[in-house]
A and B are shown apart, each in its own frame.
Chain A
Amino acid sequence: MNLKKLPKKLVLQGGTILDPLSGRSKKGNVVIERNKIKSVGSTGGAKGETKIDCSGLVITHGFCDVHVHFREPGREDKETLQTGSRAALAGGFTRVCVMPNTSPPLDTPESIRFIVEKAEECPVHIHPIGAVTKGQKGQELTEVQGIISEGAVALSDDGLPISDAQVMRLALEYTSMFDKPVINHAEDECLRNNGLMHEGEISTRLGLAGNPSLAEAIMIQRDLELANMIQAKLHVPHVSSAGGAANIRRMKKLNPNITAEVTPHHLFFNDQALLEYNTNFKVAPPIRTEDDRKELIKAVKDGTFDCIATDHAPHTIDEKEATFESAPFGMIGLESCFGAVNKVLDMPLKELLKLLTVNPRRVMGFEEDLFKIGCAAELTILDPAQEWIYKEQNIYSKSRNTPFIGEKLKGKVRYTISKGTIADLN
């Protein structure tokens, strides 16, 4: 990946311009001048200008991921805002929301400001998500107003479920004053019972403690009922089970403020993949059965899920080169995201791109119309048909913990344009 400053004027020439907001596509040029969209759809060549030949490629909105872990502050050995930004660019992402389970957690207005200030120097837009409770202990609410006024776009204790229903109720009620979503890592901790993988035939054979699907479905339903009572904004992260998806589908009819995400790894793999105890498959919530996987794909297609989010969770090689029991939960996912979901979902490109662009921006209240004249350039240029093997050299994260290495993917990001930078992935 080659990172360069955008020239004063850049012509993206002769590509298919696909606007996921309108759903329309046309052949033509996109002209960027002084980092802003100057024109969209002109044809013909221009002399003496810097251009990128986009023939055969699709020019679209930069991707947005509402769920990443960049580990700063505290675990800069795993990832930093800078290295995470590079992983984002490599995956076509121009905007990400970082979870607050850092060390210390982002649970004060000051810690949110720290991220916002550091993010200014980064080549992608990074928005912090603030903790719901002090120290992510699940007990007392943080200074929600202060956190939001410093730039947090949502509230979450991600990594840790908010077990106490009363705390969750108060969080939804209080946060609703500010029109921001609350995101709860939805697993019933008692029912999860220290499970290391999906509870089923495979966990029984491997002798690994199982985490039943119901641990998620029950917690999601609790949150949905609370959000419905309050008519509050609830965003359900990384849904892993058929039951969880069904609950969201049903409750969305009652509360228009519910949104939900699914990860590439829950759409791509099933629990058979764990048969060799590969710790890169150890994620929370766990990768479940083939039936669950199929139901998740269905739920993407019928609109139950608003967006795809990677839950990019870097861990060091040393930590992951452990027994399954002692390895930490999580995998990285930004770089492999598009090729994975484009392969496994097999849906019209303009529909798929909505899940990576317009919809996640809507969830977080970001600008959705990125082809608007004068809008700061945030674009991704991709080849949706290119088949490729994902290799370690495609990783720009500081960590390497992904089971996608060696997988054949379909669709590759070729350029990402963000914050005055162009990433060339050819």
Chain B
Amino acid sequence: MQEKHLLGLEHYPAEDIVSIIDTAFSFREVLDRPIKKVPSLQGKTIVNLFFENSTRTRISFELAQKRLSADTVNFSASSSSLKKGESFKDTVQNIEAMKIDAVVMRHPDPGASLHLTKYVDAVVINAGDGTHEHPTQAILDMTSLQERFGKVKGLRIGIIGDIMYSRVARSNIYGLKKLGAEVILCGPTTLIPPHIDSLGVRVTHDLDEVLDWADAINVLRIQLERMDRGLFPSVREYRNLFGITSERLKKHKKEIVIMHPGPMNRGIEIDSSVADGKEAIILDQVLNGVASRMAILYLLLGGKPENN
């Protein structure tokens, strides 16, 4: 691994992303065994530092750590001294003082994981920093695409929904472009950030165009509070324009793979019939999430890449 930390994919080497994905497949085998545990990270201590609630990501990381036999400590903002006004710096320096090997952090502020690296010697893994990046999500998404298509290069991927406030979208764009996929973004004009085309992606507001073109679509969760801020007028209208429904998919001959980072708003951005349908790989994403995070932890904490 060329980088000590995993803060984002924008500047992450493509070959290291490939190593992670390859290693993730090795760990997928472990997860299929009756005893799903390897001693790879025995004696290593990892802190899951969650300044923002995220049950899914935290559980996925925790499980990955347990499968690798690491010691883990969970620290969440609600149980912490942060409420008593302790600064971010004091909190993380306290944790550092306890001789930790890695910190997995979720934080509501963009750039928070880079900021963390200034105060700790431990390996930092970004589990989502505000609207900036969520690299482990993008890696698990790419692992799932690789599993399904046998490759990522040359794939046509549509990312649908709230691009503006999505760390998943940003990390996916960087990762997919690095591995040679084509990316198109689709969502309401008010949720597409300015100059996003500078990242080498196309933008459209016509969902049918994407459904005609794409091999797979990644459907993002729409935060309902965006509606209160006037970024889209109603759930009904959002669904009409960007909702992934069976009827809409049927208009297009070819079948496309459906992904969603969860948690889903069923009936809004995606219909149950689609989410539970045979083209959806949403539950594979969850399993690949554990395998990818095992690979990331293993490689960043000293393991060697495995190739199959």
Residues of A within 8 A of B (CB): 199-201, 203-210, 276-277, 318, 321-326
Q: How far is the CA of A207 from the CA of B129 in the complex (A)?
A: 9
Chain B residues near A326 (CB-CB < 8 A): 88, 109
Chain B residues near A323 (CB-CB < 8 A): 88, 107, 109-112, 115
Interface of A is mostly: loop
**Is B207 at the interface (CB under 8 A from chain A)?**
no
Q: How far is the CA of A181 from the CA of B32 in the complex (A)?
A: 75
Is A205 in contact with B114, judged by CB distance below 8 angstroms?
no
Chain B residues near A277 (CB-CB < 8 A): 110-111, 114-115
Q: How far is the CA of A206 from the CA of B111 in the complex (A)?
A: 7
Chain A residues near B115 (CB-CB < 8 A): 277, 322-324
Most buried by B among A199, A203, A318, A325: A325
Chain B residues near A205 (CB-CB < 8 A): 10, 170, 198-199
Q: How far is the CA of A130 from the CA of B182 in the complex (A)?
A: 57
Shortest A233–chain B CB gap in Å is: 36
Q: How far is the CA of A318 from the CA of B129 in the complex (A)?
A: 21
Chain A residues near B170 (CB-CB < 8 A): 205, 207
Chain B interface size, under 10 / 10 to 19 / 20 to 34 / 35 or more: 20 to 34
Q: How far is the CA of A209 from the CA of B170 in the complex (A)?
A: 14
Q: How far is the CA of A326 from the CA of B129 in the complex (A)?
A: 13
Q: How far is the CA of A322 from the CA of B133 in the complex (A)?
A: 18
Q: How far is the CA of A322 from the CA of B88 in the complex (A)?
A: 7
Instruction: Jot down 15 A-B pairs with beta carbons below 8 A, ordered by A.
Output: A199-B194, A200-B195, A201-B194, A204-B195, A204-B198, A205-B199, A206-B132, A208-B111, A276-B114, A318-B89, A322-B87, A323-B107, A324-B109, A325-B110, A325-B130
Shortest B274–chain A CB gap in Å is: 28
Chain A residues near B167 (CB-CB < 8 A): 207
Q: How far is the CA of A16 from the CA of B173 in the complex (A)?
A: 59
**Is B263 at the interface (CB under 8 A from chain A)?**
no
Q: How far is the CA of A203 from the CA of B10 in the complex (A)?
A: 14
Chain A minimum-CB-distance residue to B198 = A201
Most buried by B among A201, A206, A207, A276: A207
Shortest A332–chain B CB gap in Å is: 21
Chain A minimum-CB-distance residue to B115 = A323
Contact with A along B5-16 (1 / 0, CB 8 A): 000001000000
* Given A205-B198, A206-B132, A277-B115: 15 more A-B contacts, CB < 8 Å: A203-B193, A204-B195, A204-B198, A207-B132, A207-B133, A207-B170, A209-B131, A210-B194, A277-B110, A321-B87, A322-B115, A323-B110, A324-B110, A325-B108, A325-B111
Residues of B within 8 A of A (CB): 10, 87-89, 107-112, 114-115, 129-133, 167, 170, 193-196, 198-199
Chain A minimum-CB-distance residue to B11 = A275
Q: How far is the CA of A201 from the CA of B197 in the complex (A)?
A: 9
Q: How far is the CA of A120 from the CA of B115 in the complex (A)?
A: 43
Closest A-B pairs by Cβ, 10 of them: A207-B132, A277-B111, A323-B109, A207-B131, A201-B195, A207-B110, A325-B109, A204-B193, A201-B198, A323-B112
Count of inter-chain pairs, beta carbons less than 8 A: 68
Chain A minimum-CB-distance residue to B87 = A318
Is B193 in contact with A208, judged by CB distance below 8 angstroms?
no
Is A206 in contact with B110, judged by CB distance below 8 angstroms?
yes
Q: How far is the CA of A276 from the CA of B170 in the complex (A)?
A: 17
Shortest A251–chain B CB gap in Å is: 27
Chain B residues near A321 (CB-CB < 8 A): 87, 89
Chain B minimum-CB-distance residue to A204 = B193
Q: How far is the CA of A203 from the CA of B194 in the complex (A)?
A: 9
Q: How far is the CA of A204 from the CA of B198 in the complex (A)?
A: 10
Q: How far is the CA of A206 from the CA of B112 in the complex (A)?
A: 11
Is A204 in contact with B196, judged by CB distance below 8 angstroms?
yes
Is B110 in contact with A208, judged by CB distance below 8 angstroms?
yes
Chain B residues near A209 (CB-CB < 8 A): 131
Most buried by A among B87, B115, B196: B115
Q: How far is the CA of A206 from the CA of B129 in the complex (A)?
A: 10
Chain A residues near B114 (CB-CB < 8 A): 276-277
Chain B minimum-CB-distance residue to A212 = B194
Shortest A68–chain B CB gap in Å is: 28
Chain A residues near B199 (CB-CB < 8 A): 204-205
Shortest A325–chain B CB gap in Å is: 4
Shortest A280–chain B CB gap in Å is: 13
Is B111 in contact with A324, judged by CB distance below 8 angstroms?
yes
Is B198 in contact with A207, judged by CB distance below 8 angstroms?
no
Shortest A141–chain B CB gap in Å is: 32
Q: A276-B114, A323-B111, A323-B115 are in contact. Are A207 and B130 (CB under 8 A)?
A: yes
Chain A residues near B89 (CB-CB < 8 A): 318, 321-322
Shortest A216–chain B CB gap in Å is: 16
Shortest A376–chain B CB gap in Å is: 46
Shortest A255–chain B CB gap in Å is: 33
Chain B residues near A325 (CB-CB < 8 A): 108-111, 130
Chain A residues near B87 (CB-CB < 8 A): 318, 321-322
Chain B residues near A203 (CB-CB < 8 A): 193-194
Chain A minimum-CB-distance residue to B169 = A207
Shortest A283–chain B CB gap in Å is: 16
Shortest A193–chain B CB gap in Å is: 9
Chain A residues near B110 (CB-CB < 8 A): 206-208, 277, 323-325
Chain B residues near A210 (CB-CB < 8 A): 193-194
Q: How far is the CA of A294 from the CA of B110 in the complex (A)?
A: 29
Q: How far is the CA of A272 from the CA of B109 in the complex (A)?
A: 19
Q: How far is the CA of A203 from the CA of B165 in the complex (A)?
A: 12
Q: How far is the CA of A276 from the CA of B198 in the complex (A)?
A: 18
Q: How far is the CA of A17 from the CA of B73 in the complex (A)?
A: 69
Q: How far is the CA of A208 from the CA of B109 in the complex (A)?
A: 8
Q: How far is the CA of A323 from the CA of B105 in the complex (A)?
A: 14
Chain B minimum-CB-distance residue to A208 = B110
Chain A minimum-CB-distance residue to B130 = A207
Chain A minimum-CB-distance residue to B129 = A207
Chain A minimum-CB-distance residue to B90 = A318
Chain A residues near B88 (CB-CB < 8 A): 322-323, 326
Q: How far is the CA of A324 from the CA of B107 in the complex (A)?
A: 12
Chain B residues near A207 (CB-CB < 8 A): 110-111, 129-133, 167, 170
Q: How far is the CA of A325 from the CA of B115 in the complex (A)?
A: 11
Q: How far is the CA of A204 from the CA of B195 in the complex (A)?
A: 7
Q: How far is the CA of A326 from the CA of B87 in the complex (A)?
A: 11
Shortest A131–chain B CB gap in Å is: 30
Chain A residues near B109 (CB-CB < 8 A): 323-326
Shortest B115–chain A CB gap in Å is: 5
